[in-house]
Amino acid sequence: MVNEHKKRANGMALLPIVVFLILYLGTGIFFEYIHPIEGQMGFYIMSVVVAFSIALLVAFAQNRALSFDEKIHICAKGIGDDNITIMLFIFLAAGAFGGIAQQAGGAASTANLLLSIVPGRFAIPGLFVIASLISMAMGTSVGTITILVPIATEAAANGGLSLPLCVGTVVGGAMFGDNLSFISDTTIAATKTQGVMMKDKFKTNFLIACPAAIATIAILIVMAISSGSTSMGEYSYSLIQAAPYFIVLVLAILGINVFIVLGIGIILFILAGAATGAITYISAFTSMGNGTSGMFETMIVTILVASIGSLIKENGGFEAILQFIKNHFSGKRGGMFGISLLTMLMDLSTANNTVAIVMAAPIAKTISEEYKIEPKKTASLLDTCSCIMQGIIPYGAQLLIASSLCGISSLQIIPYLYYPYLLAICVLISIIKEK
């Protein structure tokens, strides 16, 4: 039987994480900056699934005191955790929702509807607000960036505005919305791994993110007034196609079960798409299938990380990290700083905020129990801190896609990412104010 008593700290148990970082981060840096391959993003050459699979093999090779069957049992317990199971099911539902919403024209119509009501003088702050709403409704910062960066590029050209500023504004808004969205995979990962309600995490997050967003909008308004007026262009939209997103957003904020919200959203988009001729019987189910397929890698990574995390915990790795934090941080605030630092380092290393949360979550849960930190605060720190780092690293999917769509370097966008920088300050203040 596996020993259930408190494990002794063992730094070597963290070797699988080191192996993963060397494989994934090392390969990414080499092919992105040292030996780039034309037409390919360096950080997507090494599959995150392959890197984690090799890390899992390393975890299995450790601790010879346990048999292979005992290690399988440890992995099975980790994968079979209630929160992991729920998270996997939500990923499937969110994938189907995203697929049908895209096919029904919901994303494009919602963006165009909002763009059509923004006054030209306030094009820059308008882009931030629109990106926030679209990302909150869609649950994906990357999808929002893909839709809005071409529009931001056009607005910059029409009005003689700074292109890096317009693109950075969209990226910031997309990260704000994704951080608060009820159907974002980061929200799902953060809440389910900590066993908290999404509405509780939303309230905690909102108190941190909202001041950063308001400060960002204020800065952008000042810049907009000084830069003069511009034209956002003419965009066509369908109220019928856009309406389901707003309904889903309201239902989610009201705290209705996420499965019910996603189910209602899928039905509404099927009806809206059919009413406007955007989808057929065949395309509806094909798009939902494609949407769920798009979640497969995230689900596989979740399973692999749950297995690796269980073995690392059994071998004393979590206890080693907790011991390190105890030696360098004290009190409740110290525990929060430890969770924040851990999450940001994981994101810096993996360039994927969902993966970073899944990796950091079990360790963060242990820290939160040790330091008496409320689970909703831990979930908020996981989501927010991964959002901060993911929004500013030049090799993350958000900035790489944004830069490729507008034709400038991701490094040129970084100085204009006001929201992530202000969010970091707000997180710091929220920790310092904690009693």
In order along its 435 residues, the chain shows pLDDT tens digits of 344 445 688 889 889 888 988 888 788 888 877 888 877 767 678 887 898 899 999 999 999 899 999 999 999 998 887 767 877 887 788 788 878 988 888 877 877 777 777 776 787 888 899 889 888 877 778 777 877 787 788 777 766 778 899 899 999 999 998 888 887 888 888 998 898 988 888 899 999 999 999 999 999 998 887 765 555 566 678 889 888 888 887 877 676 777 888 889 899 999 999 999 989 989 999 999 998 888 888 788 878 888 988 898 888 887 888 788 878 887 889 999 999 998 988 887 666 788 789 888 888 998 898 889 999 999 999 999 999 998 898 767 788 778 877 888 777 898 999 999 999 999 999 999 887
Range list of H helices, 294-330 = 296-314, 317-328
> Could you tell me the two tokens for 427?
């997180």
Distance, in Å, from the CA atom of 48 to the CA atom of 428, rounded to the nearest integer, reads 31
Element (H or E) spanning 247, and its range? helix 239-253
Residue 79 lies in a domain: yes
Burial (CB < 10 A; 0-12, 13-18, 19+), residue 224, is buried
Structure tokens at 196: 């908290």
b/e sequence 178-215, b meaning 16+ C-beta within 10 Å: bbbbbbbbbbbbbbbbbebebbbbbebbeebbebbbeb
Alpha carbons 208 and 229: distance in angstroms, whole number: 32
Report the distance separating Cα 271 and Cα 279, nearest Å: 9
Residue 317 covered by a domain: yes
> What's the structural domain count of the chain?
1
Whether 3 is in a domain gets the answer no
Alpha helices in 118-229 (DSSP H): 123-138, 141-159, 163-180, 185-194, 198-227
Tokens of 137: 């409704």
In-domain check, residue 198: yes
Alpha carbon distance 358, 342 (integer Å): 12
List helix spans (H) across 39-81.
48-61, 68-79
Contact 113, 277 (CB under 8 A): no
Quote the pTM value.
0.73
Q: What is the DSSP letter of 31?
A: I
Q: Is residue 358 part of a domain?
A: yes
Q: Is residue 4 part of a domain?
A: no
Domain contains 5:
no
Would you say residue 86 lies in a domain?
Answer: yes
The candidate with the shortest Cα–Cα distance to 169, out of 237, 214, 216, is: 216
Q: What is the residue range of 388's domain?
A: 11-433
